[in-house]
Amino acid sequence: MPCNQPDQPLGSGVCAETGAHPERFLNTVSHGLRSPLTAIIAATELLLHASGPLTERQRRHAERVRANSQDMHDRVSDLLELSLHQADRVTLHLRPFDLEACAAEAIASIRPLALAQGVEVIHAPSAHPVTCRVDAARIVHLLRNLLSNAIRHTPTGGQIRLSREVQGAWIVHRIEDTGCGIAPARLETLFEPFYQGRSEGGDRLGIGLNVCRAIVERHGGTLSVESILGIGSSFSFTLPHPAGDEA
């Protein structure tokens, strides 16, 4: 059946399909947007690392393209992830994975954004490697969201620190920033979908932190935040320690 009949308003068929199958529509749009963004990111990586010398101005512009493309790719991924969680169609691919590797991958992916913002990201690895049964791709997504959120709300010259420690039956991750902080009145609804918890910048769609909470809870953990306005914020999430019962 054609999307629009001659006596129908332009786009009415598309709207009907969207209303009848919102998850399918969002899934299709998200995949359609991610493919060209992935190509842009790959092309920019080649330009930066395999195309010969660049002037400082050329490199600065290329890094900005890469950072903004990765940022948009993450937002589209958030839309897709949100649709899966809301439709209760999430399947976790759990396997033993080194959480240190997840952190390293997440930091590498947000490094261009940190450089563009003039923010230092410090990774404080734990004394001993921790292997945990997780969906590694989603844990990387979670860390990338929390780190990029911190970067966007930390002024030039600020710092972000990622650390991890074992506390009994739990593995606790912390992302601490020296940013603008969050007003107490905003903390109660910070993780609600389509709510922007800070006054400006950041997650303009208002879904990134909601997706983070959903990922953590699917793994059996919790996500929380402490913040002092004008000083900074600390986001913490827990994952079950595989050896927790033995501790």
Tell me the average pLDDT across 90-113. Answer: 91
Residue 123 has pLDDT above 90, yes or no: yes
Distance CA 79, CA 203 (A): 12
Both 150 and 172 in one domain: the answer is yes
Instruction: Output the six-digit token pair for 56.
Output: 């400082």
pLDDT band at 20 (very low <50, low <70, confident <90, very high): very low
Q: Which of 94, 118, 123 is nearest to 107 (CA)?
A: 123
Given this model, what pLDDT does residue 25 score? Answer: 66
- Residue 196 backbone dihedrals phi, psi, to 5 degrees: -95, 110
Residue 132 is inside which H or E element, if any? strand 131-134
Both 135 and 223 in one domain: the answer is yes
Both 229 and 208 in one domain: the answer is yes
Tracing tokens 């969207």 back to the chain, one arrives at 18
Both 82 and 102 in one domain: the answer is no
Q: In sequence order, which residues have a C-beta less than 8 Å from that of residue 210 and are 6 or more positions away?
A: 82, 191, 192, 193, 194, 195
Q: Are 207 and 191 in contact (CB under 8 A)?
A: no
Write out the residue range of the structural domain in which residue 62 sits: 12-86
Tell me the average pLDDT across 24-53. Answer: 78
The CATH number of residue 30's host domain is: 1.10.287
In a domain, 69, yes or no: yes
Given this model, what pLDDT does residue 215 score? Answer: 95
Both 75 and 196 in one domain: the answer is no
Tell me the average pLDDT across 170-177. Answer: 96
Both 108 and 204 in one domain: the answer is yes
**Which of 86, 108, 135 corresponds to the end of one domain?**
86
